[in-house]
Amino acid sequence: MLKLTVIVILFISSVKSDGDDHDNGHSLFDKYDSDHNGVLGKSEFSTLFMGFDAWPEDHRVSEHEFVNGWTSRNSQLSEPGSVTLFFFRTDLDGDRVITQNDINTLFSMFDENGNTSVSRQEFCDAFSAMYYAIDKC
Ligand SMILES: [Ca+2]
Ligand SMILES: [Ca+2]
Ligand SMILES: [Ca+2]
């Protein structure tokens, strides 16, 4: 089973490196599931959004940092104008910066069954609902 998983992962990465620019929620999920256990824990989930915090790292992600970070890291998911929309949808408390407070709220929205981890299915459901650019997930 583990062997099969490894083969699948290798297959996915070889497809990705083939210049397939049809990125989607699945590959985004895989990119941030850094321990490859098939779910996003709170810290992995936070990294997806808070990882855009540029120097000086103050744990606050401005619109500028978010748009720049998203565009350079997830270029395939960056339709013109949509990244700014992502920012406003992520800034759930409306103070125009992304902080851990926003991510905590967002995490509980994604974690539909409340088991403190976000499964691939939960991720896809919530992500396609919130960020329209992902049409296949
Ligand atoms: Ca994980
Ligand atoms: Ca905020
Ligand atoms: Ca869950």
- How confident is the model over 61-90, as pLDDT tens digits? 999 999 999 888 877 777 767 889 889 999
How far is ligand 2, taken at its centre, from the CA of residue 88, in Å? 9
Answer yes or no: is pLDDT of 112 > 80.
Answer: yes
The predicted pLDDT at position 131 comes to 76
Domain assignment present for 11: no
Most confident stretch, 11-20, 22-31, 111-120 = 111-120
Domain assignment present for 105: yes
User: What's the CATH code of the domain at 110?
Assistant: 1.10.238.10
The predicted pLDDT at position 21 comes to 44
How far is ligand 1, taken at its centre, from the CA of residue 61, in Å? 23
Q: Which residues surround ligand 3, an ion (CB under 5 A)?
A: 111, 113, 115
The predicted pLDDT at position 19 comes to 39
Q: Which is more confidently placed, 31 or 55?
A: 31
How far is ligand 3, taken at its centre, from the CA of residue 111, in Å? 4
Decide the pairing of beta strands 118-119 and 97-98. unpaired
How far is ligand 2, taken at its centre, from the CA of residue 13, in Å? 34
How far is ligand 2, taken at its centre, from the CA of residue 59, in Å? 11
DSSP class per residue in 9-48: HHHHHHHHHTT-----HHHHHHHH-TT-SSEE-HHHHHHH
* Full residue range of the structural domain in which residue 126 is found: 23-130
Count how many domains the chain has.
1
Domain assignment present for 15: no
Distance, in Å, from the CA atom of 34 to the CA atom of 44, rounded to the nearest integer, reads: 7
Domain assignment present for 76: yes
Domain assignment present for 3: no
Domain assignment present for 2: no
For 81, which DSSP code?
A: T
